[in-house]
Amino acid sequence: MKIAFTGKGGSGKSTLAALFVGYLRQSGRRVLAVDADVNVHLAPLLGVTADAERALSHPARTEAVRKHLLGTNVLIGGADRFVATTPPGPGSREVTLDPADPVLTGHAVALDERTHVMHVGTYEPESIGAGCYHGHLAVLENLLSHLAIGDGDWVVCDMVAGTDAFANSLHAQFDAIVVVVEPTPESVTVARRYRQLAEAAGTADLLVLVGNKVVDEVDADYLRRELGTEPVATLPAQAGLRRARQAGTSPRLDDVTPLRRIADVVRPVPPQRRAAALRALHLKVAGKDWVRSAYGDVTDQLGPVPA
């Protein structure tokens, strides 16, 4: 399964993603945790130092990952012609959660044999005034589209706050998108907007609304009323989680029922549906003037439509 966590900044999405990774580890699952937030919070929460040299968006790593994914696929035309939506094709290499997979051994930090952590990276001083974080995320999109994960395997991604996932193909890459919502007007507004955009993108059925920092029944009623539905799970405000963050240790929950509820509602997106959505997004990207100028015609990266 591939699951993303998003929400308004400060809603607790990174903490919840870290808790979910911990729950999956306790359940004996193989997990790849990806910190895709520009603020880079998930990796430290899992005890990983997010060095700039180890970031997926570091030019040397981006090139290495794309060369690996390219394999012998002649449709792409070379590792330098990858765009965010470039799909796998004949001869492309898949990425698995096998601990011996070259992408994991070369670009992830192993917490144990079954758990690996990657981070996309953030702005560096040389990028000031001349960089866009969406460009950093392109290699993550390439990685996600080339993933082949087995039964019981999970990819957990901590996303950029807000609705930035709709600026690219990330909203179509996951089996579920957890929108973390605090009982505040600002957080609810972000969740509503996310739902509106997901409906327009055809992915509204993949949203999982989770209430967080709920103090009492008044807060719970507020979320139900403002969201128009019962959140799949609700986590109370817990001082222990804040204390763990202040101490620089991984957060833990005594009661993992909310995390179990999240896992229980996730279902795999049919491969045909995902392939059709990503194909349409690739054609949309291919039509952009800046893409044509920089990469030429990338529509030829698509193979025949699957039967």
For each of the domains in the chain, give its residue range(s) and CATH number, in order of start.
2-178 (3.40.50.300)
Whether the CB-CB separation of 120 and 136 falls below 8 Å is answered with yes
Per-residue confidence (pLDDT) for residue 21, from 0 to 100: 97
Whether the CB-CB separation of 211 and 233 falls below 8 Å is answered with yes
Q: Hey, CA dihedral for 280, 281, 283, 287, is it positive or negative?
A: positive
- Give the length of the chain: 307
H-helix or E-strand spanning residue 234? strand 233-236
Beta bridge partners of 250: none
Question: What do you get for the CA distance between the two ends of the chain, in Å?
Answer: 24
Per-residue confidence (pLDDT) for residue 306, from 0 to 100: 63
Per-residue confidence (pLDDT) for residue 255, from 0 to 100: 84
- Looking at the predicted structure, is the pLDDT value of residue 211 above 60? yes
Determine whether 272 is exposed, middle or buried from the number of CB atoms within 10 Å of its CB (0-12, 13-18, 19+): exposed
Report the 10 Å Cβ neighbour count for 221. 11
Mean pLDDT on 268-287 = 94
Inter-axis angle of helices 133-145 and 59-70, nearest 10:
30
Q: How far apart are CA 248 and CA 242, in angstroms?
A: 10
- Which residue in 237, 240, 233, 234 sits closest to 261, CA to CA? 233
Q: How far apart are CA 226 and CA 207, in angstroms?
A: 16
The average confidence (pLDDT) of the chain is 91
Per-residue confidence (pLDDT) for residue 124, from 0 to 100: 59
- Which residue in 231, 233, 230 sits closest to 256, CA to CA? 233
DSSP code at position 147? B
Per-residue confidence (pLDDT) for residue 284, from 0 to 100: 94
Percent of the chain with pLDDT over 90: 79
Percent of the chain with pLDDT over 70: 95
- Per-residue pLDDT band for 62 (boundaries 50, 70, 90) equals very high
Instruction: Tell me which of 20-24, 103-107, 156-160, 301-305 is least confident.
Output: 301-305
- Which residue in 174, 156, 175, 154 sits closest to 28, CA to CA? 154
Mean pLDDT on 98-118 = 96
| Tens-place pLDDT, residues 146-197 | 999 999 999 999 998 877 778 789 999 999 999 999 999 999 999 999 999 9
| Tens-place pLDDT, residues 4-59 | 999 998 899 999 999 999 999 999 999 999 999 988 899 999 999 988 889 999 99
Instruction: Tell me which of 18-22, 117-121, 127-131, 255-259 is least confident.
Output: 127-131
- Looking at the predicted structure, is the pLDDT value of residue 71 above 70? yes
Per-residue confidence (pLDDT) for residue 126, from 0 to 100: 61
Per-residue confidence (pLDDT) for residue 133, from 0 to 100: 58
- Per-residue pLDDT band for 127 (boundaries 50, 70, 90) equals low
Per-residue confidence (pLDDT) for residue 79, from 0 to 100: 95
Report the 10 Å Cβ neighbour count for 223. 25
